Structures are given as C-alpha cells and as structure tokens.
Amino acid sequence: MYRINKGDLVRDNFEFKTKSNNYLGISLKDEKQATKFLYRLSEGERNFEFFRSNTLDFVSFGFNKLRQGSHIGLPYSYFAQSKTEIFELTPASGFQYFLGQKISLDDINQKLSVESQEKFYESLVLSDDAKLFGLGREVANTDNFIKSILDRLVEFISLSGAYMYSYIKTRVYKMQFFQRRKVFVLSGLFAFSVIFETIDVQACQMGLDCCTGSIEFYDKMLERNKLLREVLINGHKLVDSNGNYLKQPVYLPFTNFFFYTNFMGIKLTDRREFCQKQLDLMITKLNAQMENDEQKSKKSELIKENDQTQPHGDEELKILKLIRLKLETFFFDLLIKHEILNHFLILSIKLLLPKFERIKSLGKHLPKWSDPNGIYYRLPEHYKKRQVDFLNTLPKPVHYKPSEKLYEVDHEHGVKKRIQDTPIVVLYPTQSKLGIWGGEGVVAGYKRPEQTGYKRPQYLTTKLWRPKVLKLIFYSEILDQNYALTCTRRTLELIEEAKGFDNYILKTHEVDLKSDIGMQLKREMLIRLAKKDTDLYPQDQKKQEIIYNRYKEFVIPIEEAEWVGLKPWEAVNKLKKIEEEKQKISIRPLKAVFAEETIEKLSSGDFDIEKALPKAKEKSIFKKIMEENFTKKK
C-alpha cells in the first residue's frame, strides 16, 4: 500500500505512485500547498492509494485505518491544466457512469452548442486550490468507515427506518402512510446533513487557499451538472435547473444492476453556501488575529520605551524583563496562531530559548523578583546572578549519550530529518540530596519479561533502575574534617578526575552537583578560604599558605561566600535576620539621647539651671483664707 512521503513529492511535477509503479502527474506547483493537509495526517492515516477513473466525480471506497487502506479514484480532468489537455487525457469512450449513464465526447459535441461546450470543458478545469480541496474532501470521506459507505447505506437505512417508524406509528398514533413518509424523510435529511457538513469542515480547515478553492469546486460542479442535464437521458428528472442532484443510482450487491432513488444528501448549493460561511469565518478570524498582533506589537513597543526611559541600575533585572517579554510574546503567538502555525514552526520557536522548562519556572515568579517593594528585590545582586546562571545552565547528560548531529538522512524517503534528542526523565529522591551521587538518579521505564517455556504474549512490566549507592568517608583539606556520605561509582570517578574531594566540590556546578549537602560544603569551604587568617589553620602558618595557594582560584569575598548554595526561601530568611539586626542597632533609647543633649549644653555653658528648676506653685485663695483665719499665730 502506498504511503505519502516527501521523496515522491520532490519533483517538478509532483506525482503519486501506485502499486503498478505508474505515476499520476498532479501538476501542483507549490509543494507546501500540495502537502499541507496530507502531512497533517498521522503515519497510520496515510494509508490510501490513488488511481485513474474515467468518471466526472471522485470515487472513493475503503477505510484508511484498516490494513487494506482506502482507494481514491481521481478523474481524468483532475490532471488537466487547460481545455486542450482534457482532450488528450480523456479516452475516446468518454466519461462513464455519471448518475448510472455513460457520456461520450460525441454526445457532448452533438447535443451542446459551441458556447455550452466551451463552458463544459472550462468547468472541468480546476485550479490548484480547488484540486486540493477535492483531494482533502475525499481523504476526509475515507477516514471514517461510516462515511465511506454512507452513499450505499442511505436507501437501506431509509427503508428499514421507514418500516419500523410506520409500524410504531400505526399502532400508537394511527398516522397515515404519506405523513409518516414525510416525517421520516425530514428526520433522515437532518441526520445525514450533519455527516456531510463535517466532511466539508475538515477539508476547509486545511487553510484559507482550500477554503477559497471549495467555492470554485462547487461552482464548477453546478455549472457542469446544468450542462449535462441536456445530455443525459431524462436529465430533468436527475438534475434540477440549479445543478443539484434529484436522483441517485443504487447498485445491487455483486451485480451491475441499479435503480434510481431520491437523492438523500445535501444539495450542492447548500454545501456551497456552507463553504462560503466557513470562508467568512476564517477571514474574520484572520482579521482578529492581525488586530491582536498589532495591539501586541504596540504594547511591546510601549514596554520597550518605558524600559529605555526608566533607569535601571542592575543588568540582571534587565535580563529578567527580557526573558519575561520573550515568554509573553511566545505564549501570545501560540494562543493566537494555533491554527496557522504547523508543528515544525513550534519546534523552531522552542529551540530559541535554552532549557525552556527552567526559564518558564522563573517566569511564574518574575513579579517577586522585579517588584521594588518586595523582599526578593532586596536580595544581593551576586545572589541574583547565581540564580539566573542556575536557571540558564543545562545539566550534563548522565544516563544517556546526546547525539553529535542535529539532522540525519532518512534513506527510506530520501529527506533530511531532525534527530529527536530528548533527555531521559530522571527522579532524584531525598537520599540523593543528602549524599553526593554525581548527578545520578532513579530512571523509571518498562521491561520485557524473559520468555521461558511455551510461547506467551509479552507483557511490559514497570521497572526502576537505581544506582548502586556506597557509603564512604571523605576528607576535606580546607575544612580539616571527615564526612561519611553516600556516593556512587561515578562520584569516585569524578573525584579522581578533579584530583581531590575539595576540587570536585568547588569545580562542579550546582546544576550537575544536585546535592544540598554538597552545596553546604561548598559554602563552608568558600567561607574558610575568605577568612584564612582566622579559620584556615590559624596555628600552622605554613600549611595555611599551602592550602590557600592550592585553592586560591576559588576565593571570593566573604559577602558572596555566605550566600552560595542558599535556596530562595533560605536567602529570604537570612535577609530578614540581617535587616532585623540592623534595625535593632539603629534604635537608641530616649534616655541616652536626652543625656547626651544635657551634657552638651552643660559643657557649652548655654544651660540655665534656674530656668530648669521647677518653680514653686502659688497658693490658692482657699489655702490663704484657711491660713489667715484658722492657723495659730505664734
């Protein structure tokens, strides 16, 4: 069974190959337009085959999700680009089995005038957009088993349903036969119209070009049916004046006999109007997207102007704002252009930002770091730099080998293919944070059971691959202390490569270390090196110089060393304690303030003691009267 691939399409005239190695030339000049819908299908859904058919309409049967696949017959006029090519491609016998009748070229030349002949041949020539719509409509028609056999089941469903409906109604409501038939026909038309509309919707959703081609497709089909009404026998009974079908042939199984029944599908004029509505909706959506894009561009320009006018003292804040702008524009484009962007464009956008998952986690907390009134904004700048470096650094692969190439050659189809270099999901338990595992973790996956004895179906079982953990004692020269830690064999190899335990802890990045106790040891080592006079072998000066010269490349100021390896919540608690201590030191009791003021005034001589002493209060009139009248005079 033939499957669509890009190797068959990379030609000047794109061709589809059949089982017999015969090529059907479909001269579509634009490769993107030809493969827009076909490449949206999954590998299992591309199980269809094309063949030539000497009919005027498409012929499709089968189901593309089965092993046998589906077969789509393309009319000879589908391969023509002009009226002259129709005569070259069409056989002398003409077109067969249009509404159960054969139509030859002689019948058309005899029964139609010269003008109507030109109109008829013009109606057979379709543009590339109309051809793509017709191809997509037939592919959508064969993606469901019910759709593929719907035309053959309409009459049988109608007869069985009418019988059951009439049987029930005669017993319950005693409705007449003609009334029952009208009710059933209306309900059947409504039910089958939904299925036909979904086929047109799937074909129109391929793009704006296919939606415009659908209108041309149905217009030319209606024009063709109007002209064939004069050529067919009893054409006025088969096709109406507008070009819609009135009758349809129903073939008996395993025979060539057929009989005409009423057409149960949707009228072609109604399907054309439905496609016009889809085109209007798509144009309104595109206009709304363009307006949203303009508003978004204006908003980004205003944000850039504000960033230029407002002075920023820190480069890190500028980096954070740029990351935030990238994230906002990225998510906005995904939401607005979700129907237009294809899978390859989304992948290329994701590759622009390194380690997008880590930067996305930072974007959730950007208001905390950029708010001048928040406590995260007051954290030291060197700590913010380390956080940005941690988020933008990719860890070294441990459990897999990354591919050195970005692309590879697909020899089956002859195209360049991107290599999917996705990292393995690794689980890091709490025990790994309390030890030094060298970046190793627990890998979850599936395992096939071993086949023993008789044959049986292979069931996948879940399995966890755990590293072999050892508990060893490590000695630190800087800290002059032994530590009993859990490690792996890879940790021992990395320590040997780094030429020492202290070198391994100090050289390894936080992303690759993946250990809380490892970062704690790194912080203590850096503090010892920063305070070498007091903490690094203060009693042995020679050993102090030897150790300091050995690790002097890692020396940083004490203000930075105290913040290394702290998590954000730990850094916030540390900052709160520092601010509380500063606030306590800045607070002075009023008693000490007043004492200093009085001492300064006394030393300068400006202080008046008499004014400072409290004055005696004058006696009240009541006390004076009591003293004069009731006190004893001496």
Number of H helices, E strands in the chain: 28, 16
Q: What is the DSSP letter of 322?
A: H
- 621: pLDDT strictly greater than 80: no
Instruction: Copy the structure tokens of residue 43.
Output: 């590998």
Give the DSSP per-residue string, 578-596: HHHHHHHHH---HHHHHHH
Is the sign of the CA dihedral 530, 535, 541, 544 positive or negative? negative
pLDDT, position 530: 93
On whether the CB atoms of residues 548 and 529 are closer than 8 A, the answer is yes
Element containing residue 517 per DSSP (H, E): helix 516-530
Q: Which of 43-57, 63-77, 127-141 has the highest mean pLDDT?
A: 127-141
DSSP 613: S
**How far, CA to CA in Å, does 466 sit from each of 78, 431, 542?**
61, 12, 45
The 3-state DSSP class for residue 214 equals: helix
C-alpha distances out from residue 631 to 624, 626, 634, Å: 10, 7, 9
Higher-pLDDT residue of 422 and 166 is 422
Pairing state between β 407-410 and 415-418: antiparallel
Q: How confident is the model at residue 24 (pLDDT cuts 50, 70, 90)?
A: very low
Question: What is the spatial distance between Cα 232 and Cα 111, in angstroms, rounded to a whole number?
Answer: 10
pLDDT for the residue 286:
77
List the end-to-end C-alpha distance of the chain, in Å, as a whole number: 143
Identify the residue with better confidence: 613 or 312: 613
Strands annotated E in 364-521: 407-410, 415-418, 426-427, 442-447, 461-465, 470-476, 481-487
Q: Would you state the pLDDT for residue 316?
A: 54
The residue that leads in pLDDT, 523 or 615, is: 523
Q: To 5 degrees, how large is the angle CA 570–CA 571–CA 576?
A: 100
| Average pLDDT, integer, range 36-45 | 48
Query: Among residues 440, 438, 414, 418, which one has the least CA distance to residue 428?
Result: 440
Number of C-beta neighbours around residue 8 at 10 A = 16
For the residues 421-445, what does the mean pLDDT come to?
91
Our measurement of the distance from residue 140's CA atom to the centroid of its chain's CA atoms, rounded to an integer in Å, reads: 25
Q: From residue 499, give the alpha-carbon distance in Å to each of 77, 135, 225, 264, 509.
A: 78, 67, 87, 84, 16
> What pLDDT does residue 360 have?
43
Q: How far apart are CA 89 and CA 167, in angstroms?
A: 53
- Residue 232's pLDDT is 79
Which two structure tokens, joined as six digits, stand for 260? 């005409």
pLDDT, one tens digit per residue, over 84-95 is 777 666 665 556
Give the orientation angle of helix 208-231 with respect to helix 128-141, to 10 degrees. Answer: 90
The C-alpha atoms of residue 274 and residue 202 are separated, in whole angstroms, by 12
**CA-CA-CA-CA dihedral for 43, 48, 52, 54, to nearest 10:** -140
Helices (H), 534-632: 541-550, 558-561, 568-586, 590-604, 609-612, 621-630
Kindly give the pairing relationship between strand 70-75 and strand 48-53.
Answer: parallel
Closest by CA to 359, choosing from 402, 325, 399, 391, is: 391
Would you list the domain boundaries of the chain? 6-280, 590-630
pLDDT tens per residue across span 499-557 = 999 999 999 999 999 999 999 999 999 999 999 889 999 999 999 999 999 999 999 99
Q: What pLDDT score was predicted for residue 165?
A: 52
Q: Is the pTM of this model over 0.75?
A: no
pLDDT above 70: residue 136: yes
Q: What is the pLDDT of residue 193?
A: 52
Mean pLDDT on 4-16: 31
What's the whole-number mean pLDDT along residues 71-89? Answer: 74
Please check whether residue 65 is in contact with residue 45, taking contact to mean a CB–CB distance below 8 angstroms.
yes
pLDDT digits (tens, 9 = 90+) for 464-490: 999 999 999 999 999 999 999 999 999
For residue 562, the model assigns a pLDDT of 93
Find which of 60-74, 175-189, 527-541 is predicted with most confidence, using mean pLDDT.
527-541
pLDDT at 312 over 60: no
Those residues with Cβ within 8 angstroms of residue 284's Cβ, 6 or more apart along the chain or in another chain: none
**Higher-pLDDT residue of 358, 2:** 358
Please, which pLDDT band fits residue 343 given cuts at 50, 70 and 90? very low
Give the per-residue pLDDT at 155.
Answer: 46
Top mean-pLDDT range of 167-181, 229-243, 425-439:
425-439
pLDDT digits (tens, 9 = 90+) for 367-400: 677 788 888 889 999 999 998 889 888 899 999 8
Question: Of residues 189 and 504, which shows the higher confidence score?
Answer: 504
Q: 108-126 pLDDT, tens per residue? A: 777 788 788 888 888 888 8
Q: Please, where are the H alpha helices in 337-461?
A: 343-350, 356-364, 366-370, 381-392, 430-433
